[in-house]
Amino acid sequence: MIFSDIVALIIVYAYVAVIFVVAEKVLKTKPEVSRKFLHIMVGNMIFAMPFFSDPWVMVWFLTLPITVVLFFLTEYSPIKIDNSVTESGHALGLFFYAGIWTVLIAVFSNYLWIVALAIVPMVYGDGFAALIGQKFGRIKYKVFGGTKSLEGSLTMFVVTTVMSVFVWMVFTTIGYPMPNFNLLAILGISAIATICEALSYGGIDNLTVPALTAILYYLVTITL
Q: Where are the domains of the chain?
A: 3-223
Please report the pLDDT score of residue 83 as a whole number: 52
E strands in the chain: 140-143, 146-149
In one-letter notation, the amino acid at residue 208 is T
Please report the pLDDT score of residue 21 as a whole number: 86
Contacts of 40 (CB under 8 A, 6+ apart): 123, 124, 127, 128
**What's this model's pTM, rounded to 2 decimal places?**
0.90
Contacts of 167 (CB under 8 A, 6+ apart): 46, 47, 113, 116, 117, 120
Q: Exposed, middle or buried, 106 (CB in 10 Å: 0-12/13-18/19+)?
A: middle
Please report the pLDDT score of residue 203 as a whole number: 76
Which residues of the chain have a pLDDT value below 50?
A: 85-89
| CB-based contact 210:196 (threshold 8 Å) | no
Please report the pLDDT score of residue 223 as a whole number: 85
| CB-based contact 39:94 (threshold 8 Å) | yes
DSSP letter at 92 equals T
Report the distance separating Cα 161 and Cα 188, nearest Å: 9
Contacts of 133 (CB under 8 A, 6+ apart): 148, 149, 151, 152, 153, 155
Please report the pLDDT score of residue 91 as a whole number: 58
Please report the pLDDT score of residue 82 as a whole number: 59
| Total residues belonging to the chain | 224
